[in-house]
């Protein structure tokens, strides 16, 4: 199999030449099957590939996909996912006009495991421990001391219809899942499209991400835990439709950390008629802080998080929800949560505790509103459309 794939790379290089700006629309696409553990550096030229099984990129190995490629799996073959093991690198060279798409043949949310990346950057997991075991079905250790861990570079990548359980994993996977990934990794212009769990989830680590779109994912648009502290995040756009829980679910595994992530330019929208993922789980707020979650957020647009009625009971949506008393005391009152320049519309409450016993009062300057807030600034192109429909609503 490896010889076959390397042959494809050589053939593809003959077709595409040396220039990175060659037009793939006039290049015959390569084809092939990607399976097993990849143990040698491999480049997949522009093409249409089939991914079969839980494909792993071994430590010390770099796997590269050229722009315009499509990688398709099929749930009828069993569990499928692309896993970057700690020490491995995934490089995806998509462009705004020719993104790289990872998808599943049935186009049903929850049909495969998406892209999962492991690193050895620091984490702070439950109990304050510096290492933990992944919940993705691979049951691999994550966490370390290498803050600058480099898992590669993802440019203009779309992951579709992910969210499947792998093996005996304890929960669904996400479109993109990052376990203790470090700041040397580049995450730029990514789309999580119609998955059955979160669009993006960070389990600790120091990686940052720019220009993210989360569209139509059943759980949260964005989620993190285990002390994630990415410091240079910007342009995050979440659009929830049909099913969806929180726009952002923010927690720190019950650790009162001295640090927090920073994100600027955020848009969170919830389409009319969107329901929670599971009946009885009333998760309808734009941003929920719990279990000592914190962060610094600026230029935030929130729209559509209004009331939801279930079994004749009406629940009121909130822009900023503080879920528990410890988070209110340790994070809000201690100025570890800052949400500034916020513009809200079609949302019932601006700021609220989960119960009447949680009285939320931000210190001066830590929560501010602005009618001129713009939210995410997404430059549109082929990468922001699916089947001709724009993802920016």
What secondary structure does DSSP assign to 215-275, as a single string? ES-SS-SEEEES------EEEEEEEEBSB---SEEEE-TT---S---EEEEEEEEE-TT-B
Task: State the pLDDT at residue 279.
Answer: 78
pLDDT at residue number 171: 79
**pTM to 2 decimals?**
0.93
pLDDT band of residue 126 (cuts 50, 70, 90) is very high
- What local confidence, expressed as pLDDT, does residue 20 receive? 39
Q: Which residues of 307-345 are buried (b: 16+ CB within 10 A; e: fewer)?
A: ebeeeeeebebbbbbbbbeebbebbbeeebbbbbbbbbe
User: What value does the mean pLDDT take over residues 105-117?
Assistant: 98
Residue 385 has pLDDT above 70, yes or no: yes
- pLDDT, residue 169, reads 76
Does the pLDDT of residue 338 top 60, yes or no?
yes
Beta strands 141-142; 132-133: pairing state: antiparallel
> How is 155-189 classified by DSSP, letter by letter?
EEEEEESB----TT-SS---SEEEES--TTSEEEE
A 10 A CB-CB count for 65 gives 26
CA distance 323 to 30: 50
The model's confidence at residue 282, banded by pLDDT at 50, 70 and 90, is: confident
- Per-residue pLDDT, 9: 43
pLDDT at 148 over 50: yes
Nearest CA to 307 among 318, 296, 298, 299? 318
State the Cα torsion 11-17-21-24 to the nearest 10°.
Answer: -40
d(CA 129, CA 147): 16
Candidates 180, 29, 36; CA nearest to 100 is 29
Encode pLDDT of 150-172 as tens digits. 999 999 999 999 999 998 777 78
Instruction: Tell me: pLDDT of 67 over 50.
Output: yes
Which DSSP helix (H) or strand (E) runs through 339? Answer: strand 337-345
Specify the range with the lowest mean pLDDT, choosing from 26-30, 38-42, 211-215, 222-226. Answer: 26-30
Is the CB of residue 31 less than 8 Å from the CB of residue 12? no
């Amino acid at each position: 199999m490896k010889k076959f794939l390397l042959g494809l790379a050589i053939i593809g290089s003959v077709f595409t030449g040396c220039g990175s700006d060659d037009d793939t629309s006039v290049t015959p696409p390569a084809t092939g099957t990607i399976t097993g553990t990849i143990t040698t550096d491999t480049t997949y030229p522009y093409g249409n590939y089939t991914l079969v099984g839980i494909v792993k990129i071994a430590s010390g190995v770099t796997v590269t996909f050229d722009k315009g490629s499509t990688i398709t799996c099929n749930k009828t073959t069993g569990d499928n996912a692309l896993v970057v093991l700690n020490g491995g690198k995934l490089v995806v060279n998509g462009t705004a006009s020719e993104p790289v798409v990872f998808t599943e043949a049935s186009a049903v949310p929850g049909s495969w495991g998406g892209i999962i990346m492991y690193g050895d950057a620091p984490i702070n997991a439950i109990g304050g421990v510096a290492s933990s075991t992944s919940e993705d079905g691979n049951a691999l250790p994550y966490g370390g001391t290498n803050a600058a861990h480099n898992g590669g570079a993802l440019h203009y990548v779309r992951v579709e219809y992910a969210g499947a359980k792998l093996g005996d994993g304890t929960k669904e996977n996400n479109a993109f899942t990052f376990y203790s990934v470090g700041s040397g990794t580049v995450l730029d212009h990514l789309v999580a499209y119609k998955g059955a769990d979160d669009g993006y989830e960070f389990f600790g680590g120091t990686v940052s991400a720019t220009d993210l779109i989360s569209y139509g994912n059943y759980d949260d648009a964005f989620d993190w835990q285990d002390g994630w502290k990415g410091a240079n995040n910007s342009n995050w756009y979440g659009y929830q439709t049909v099913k969806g829980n929180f726009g952002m679910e923010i927690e720190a595994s019950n650790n009162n950390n001295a640090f927090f992530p920073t994100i600027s330019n955020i848009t969170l929208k919830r389409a009319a008629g969107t329901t929670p993922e599971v009946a009885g789980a009333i998760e309808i707020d734009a941003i929920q802080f719990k279990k000592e979650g914190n962060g610094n957020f600026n230029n935030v647009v929130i729209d559509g998080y209004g009331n939801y009625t279930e079994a004749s009971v009406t629940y009121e949506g909130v822009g900023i929800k503080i879920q528990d008393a410890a988070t209110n005391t340790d994070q809000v009152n201690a100025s570890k949560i800052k949400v500034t320049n916020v513009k809200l519309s079609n949302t019932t409450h601006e700021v609220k505790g989960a119960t009447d016993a949680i009285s939320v009062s931000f210190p001066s300057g830590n929560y501010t509103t602005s009618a001129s807030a713009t939210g995410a600034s997404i430059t549109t192109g082929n990468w922001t459309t699916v089947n001709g429909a724009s993802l920016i609503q």
